[in-house]
Amino acid sequence: MEQAGYFQHGKRHGEGIFTYPNKDVYSGMWKHGKKSGQGVYVYNATGIKLMGEWSEGLIKSGRWILPNGVYYEGEFENNKPTKNGNLRPLCRDFYFLGIFYEQALGISKTQTLWMENLFKENQRKSQ
């Protein structure tokens, strides 16, 4: 584990960078040892980024950026997208995204179906 930044009472507090044993990296603000405020979490294995506003160690709003440039922008609950957001830019290959969401990221069928409906709605709006 690698870390750089500020500490208060033995816990990360303020701006800092932390590299986890699996090589994931969080860079941003901490409060009492938990991610809090603006920050970016990068998954080493997939290159996926979670970027935005954090509270109590979880992302609350921002972007979930896939390596191919497609991203979800909106609200999160338990580090997963909610229905209060959008996929951007429009992706022509939702089947691949659906499989990716379900298998690689552990998103449920319900969330995947919601994302597919959102994708189709966004396509209709752009035509």
Cα(77)–Cα(100) distance, integer angstroms: 19
pLDDT at res. 15: 92
pTM over 0.75: no
Is 101's pLDDT higher than 60? Answer: no
Which pLDDT band, with edges at 50, 70 and 90, does 81 fall under?
confident
Q: What is the mean predicted confidence (pLDDT) over 73-90? A: 78
CATH class of the domain whose range is 2-89: mainly beta
Cα–Cα nearest to 84, from 52, 56, 36, 57:
52
Q: What is the mean pLDDT of residues 39-58?
A: 94
Q: What is the mean pLDDT of residues 26-32?
A: 95
Q: Is the pLDDT of residue 96 over 60?
A: no
Rounded Cα distance between 64 and 110, Å, is 18
